[in-house]
Amino acid sequence: MSSDVIAMHTARIDEPTWAETLHGWVTTVDHKRIGLLYILFALLFLVVAGLEALVIRIQLMYPHNDFVSPQVFNQMFTMHGTTMIFFVAMPILFGFGNYLVPLMIGARDMAFPRLNAFSFWLSALGGFLLYFSFLGGSGLYGAGTAPEVGWWAYAPLTARAFSPGSSTDYWTIAVLVSGFGSIGTAVNLLATIVCMRCPGMTLNRMPLFAWLYLTMAGLVLIAVTPLSAAQIMLLIDRYLGGHFFDTQAGGSATLWMHFFWIFGHPEVYILIIPCFAFMSEIIPVFSRKPIFGYPVMVAATVCIAFVSMSVWAHHMFTIGMNSYANSFFAITTMAVGVPTGIKIFNWIGTMWGGRIQFKTPMLFAIGFLFQFLIAGLTGVMMASAPFDWQLSLSYFVVAHFHYIIVGGILFALFAAFYYWYPKVTGRMLSERLGQLHFWLFVLGFHLTFDPMHFAGLLGMPRRIYTYEPGRGWDGINLVVSIGAFIQAVGILVFVANLIVSYWKGARAGKDPWDGWTLEWSVSSPPPAYNFATIPSVASRRPLWDLKHPEDPDSRYE
Amino acid sequence: MRAVAADIQSSGAVAVAPAWQLPDRGTVGMMSFIIAESAIFTIFVVAYLFYLGKSVTGPTPRDVLEVPVFYTICLLSSSVTVHLAAKRLERDGRLTFLILWLLTIVLGGLFMYGTAQEWHRLIYEHGLTISTNLFGTTYYSLVGLHAFHVTVGLVMLATVLVLGVGGNVRRAESGRIGVLSLYWHFVDVVWVVVFTVVYLIGR
């Protein structure tokens, strides 16, 4: 920390050379810089995985299209899924957590700054390993390049016999390494939130953001690790001749499914809980009301995390479990809807009677609420096992989880970008480009993912590289592909906004949104040491207390 | 670690009680890490139990496994010595600390020797390797994962010993030594589970 401070001072005297700047970023242990590295790394991979999605959509635009070969198509959906989950969503959410958690709880850095840097570089290594498979994946066998086993990599497809060459190893090791990075960051976030809060910030006064990240970190500890264990088993199978998932020697392919989904389903909540965190900060500020039902929000979040550990096998209704297992997982899955519904009601309760300002972050937040609700409803539909037997592995499922990931998570992320960009850079994002981005993305999103539900209901299976004409899917697929390109244009507007506003945006000042949490009390961008003196707080909205000494929150809490 | 802020910044804020104490971050970090590790071990234990009796060829656990009572006692007693060592350091008994610490390493080393001997016997006398059958795969993975953790622990214990002999482990370091001993306790607890699963239930 102190060396960073010194670097800041000398920077004003003589400009550092580009090599010094690069060295500073690579060796940094500052939570804000690591947060930005996470976010930039994730944005890079967002563009890459987005291009892969476009390849998929061009291929599926018309029946009997031959834009790419079946093998390349399989590689594209494998890489698209793996990249988006492990190298876009996870790092970008860790990035926001890294940047904002210490600022919000009044700390100067994370609990373990070097572990923080180590975790980031592990994740980065994982991402680069995954993409190195395009070059090195064929190994000595000349057998394909990038992995093509799907993002869940079901056994025995991953066995040596069916996946020769090294591409599947790159997939395994990339996911394993980035998993270790995630565990490191989760340990760090947890220790930071538990041990580094500023005086007066009891658990009951933490911003909901910190509460939600605390829950998410706990969930990472127990949900990402089963995947790491399963990847180690897969490596033992592939390299040491083990038989964990080798059905010829009595091994079980179903066990891999269980292990994968014990990770896979809580993972959805690991991704969505930070988005709830963004919503719980943004909606109150733009409704000019404190969050409605703070303790209930905390309880609902912890409840979601808890229940989410016992729903995984709803991904496996079609493998033929007995009726007790089917009933159990159907009921637990539907039960998750209850605390989630509570959260949606509380956000609406926050907006109710508020003076809502329709700035870009709020637009994305409202988009999130609608789309997340619909995604949740299709989720409850599929929680019913007989319904799932009909639609599992169809485009209905693809539509459902993209509604969560794009309509929910990505919209929440855009809201977060528009909300905190001024804090990070000191400049406002352009409101005009923001509105254009929002409407383009809403249009593109709904054109892409609404018709997909119907393609699924009409029987279109997922992961097919082409299809016969005249099955009622032709028009739907064309519309879906057009929607994907409109989303891509929306992303271009967003990236342009990020770049242009960095130099041309209006000066933001400390507190452009009239916010209430501690990050708005420091300059934009915040100084390397965050707080000159560690603040102390007496309520959930310390800045409200500061701005309204005649009527502080602390009087009522 | 946590300095209590001398000046209170906000206006409406009520003065905070001077003793603002939060848990130690090293302990919390290690406990979180242990939770994560427990999940990894759980998956390996589940796989071991799931595949019990599912091997299509021999040898079976009943044929070849012998209960390692002596080495188990060694590992479990090392938990006691590491605890006593950490306690001694808190009272600045540096020589006793070093002796107990060395004893911990010896006991852990003995345990590793026991594992090595057992593996040697299994491989050369019974021809059981990780690729022989499902029992071999799950046994070597589970016991090996634990042995790997013991090895990492021994490396860290040895590092502290070297630093201690050089006179660099003092009372001020007793917090960190406590965190390290947490890890060692965890490794021992995992052995209780592995022992129960592999040598009691699985045989």
pLDDT tens sequence across A61-101: 999 999 999 999 999 999 999 999 999 999 999 999 999 99
pLDDT in the model for residue A9: 52
Is residue B197 one of the residues assigned to a domain? yes
pLDDT band for A136, please (50, 70, 90 cuts): confident
Q: Which residue among A229, A255, A533 sits closest to B50, beta carbon to beta carbon?
A: A255
Q: Which residues of A474-512 are buried (b: 16+ CB within 10 A; e: fewer)?
A: eebbbbbbebbbbbbebbebbeebbeebeeebeebebbb
> In this prediction, what percent of chain A has a pLDDT beyond 70?
96
Chain A residue whose CA is closest to B37: A225
Domain count along chain B: 1
C-alpha to C-alpha distance for A458 and A453, rounded to whole angstroms: 9
Concatenate the DSSP letters of all residues of A470-522 into one string.
TSS-HHHHHHHHHHHHHHHHHHHHHHHHHHHHHHHSPB--S-TT---SGGGGS
- The interface residues of chain A toward chain B in range 338-357, judged by CB-CB distance below 8 A, are none
The mean pLDDT value of chain A amounts to 93
Evaluate if residue A6 carries a pLDDT over 80.
Answer: no
pLDDT per residue as tens digits for the range A203-221: 999 999 999 999 999 999 9
Residue B49 lies in a domain: yes
By Cβ distance, the residue of B1, B39, B133 closest to A226 is: B39
Predicted confidence (pLDDT) at residue A304 exceeds the cutoff of 80: yes
In the 3-class helix/strand/coil scheme, how is A426-483 assigned residue by residue?
Answer: CECCCHHHHHHHHHHHHHHHHHHHHHHHHHHHCCCECCCCCCCCCCCCHHHHHHHHHH
Mean pLDDT within A414-418: 97
Domain with residue B152: its CATH number is 1.20.120.80
Q: How much is the average pLDDT of B46-74? A: 94
- Residue B87's contacts (CB-CB under 8 Å, 6 or more residues apart) are none
CB contact under 8 A, B8 and A536: yes
> In terms of residue numbers, what domain contains B97?
25-201
Mind giving me the DSSP string for A536-555?
A: --SSS-HHHHHH-TTS-GGG
Give the structural domain span for A524. 2-555
Q: Quick one: pLDDT band at residue A198, thresholds 50, 70, 90? A: very high
- The model carries a pTM of 0.93
Q: Is the pLDDT score of A165 beyond 90?
A: no
Please answer whether residues A175 and A67 qualify as being in contact, where contact means their C-beta atoms are separated by less than 8 angstroms.
no
The band of A142, judged by pLDDT with boundaries at 50, 70 and 90, is low
- CA dist A399 and A454 (Å) reads 9
CA distance A101 to A109: 9
- pLDDT of amino acid B8: 39
In eight-state DSSP terms, residue A394 is B
Quick check: A234 pLDDT over 70? yes
Q: What is the pLDDT of residue B203?
A: 85
Provide the pLDDT for residue A557.
Answer: 78
Count how many residues are written for chain B.
203
The pLDDT, as a whole number, for residue B11 is 40
User: What is the structure's pLDDT at B58?
Assistant: 84
Bridge partners, residue A427, by sequence: A507
Which chain A residue is nearest to residue B38, measuring alpha carbons? Answer: A222
CATH at A283: 1.20.210.10
pLDDT at A294: 96
Query: Confidence class of residue A154 from pLDDT cuts 50, 70 and 90?
Result: very high
Q: Nearest-CA distance from B128 to chain A in Å? A: 12
Task: Give the residue on B whose Cα is nearest the Cα of A249.
Answer: B56
* Neighboring chain A residues of B130 at a CB cutoff of 8 Å: 236, 240-242
B15 found inside a domain: no
Give yes or no for A454 touching B (CB within 8 A): no
Per the structure, the count of domains in chain A is: 1
| Average pLDDT rounded to a whole number, residues A327-335 | 95
Averaged pLDDT for residues A358-376: 96
Could you say which of B16, B20, B130 has the minimum Cβ distance to residue A240? B130
Q: Which residues, in sequence order, are CB contacts of A178 under 8 Å at separation 6+?
A: A86, A87, A90, A122, A123, A125, A126, A127
- Long-range contacts formed by B20-23: CB under 8 A, 24+ apart: B20/A199, B20/A200, B20/A536, B22/A194, B22/A195, B22/A196, B22/A197, B23/A194, B23/A195
Cα gap A554→A186, rounded to integer Å: 31
- pLDDT band at residue A490 under the 50/70/90 scheme: very high
- Of A225, A227, A228, A197, residue with least CA distance to A210: A197
pLDDT in tens, A260-271: 999 999 999 999
Summarize the confidence of residues A353-363 as an average pLDDT.
Answer: 96
Token digits for B178? Answer: 């406590």
pLDDT at B2 over 60: no
Q: Cβ–Cβ of B22/A196 closer than 8 Å?
A: yes
Average pLDDT over residues B166-195: 95
pLDDT for res A164 = 83
Residues of B in contact with A242 (CB under 8 A): 130-131, 137, 141
Is the residue at B108 inside a domain?
Answer: yes
Mean pLDDT along residues A437-464: 96
The reply to whether B17 falls in a domain is no
Residues β-bridged to residue A507:
A427
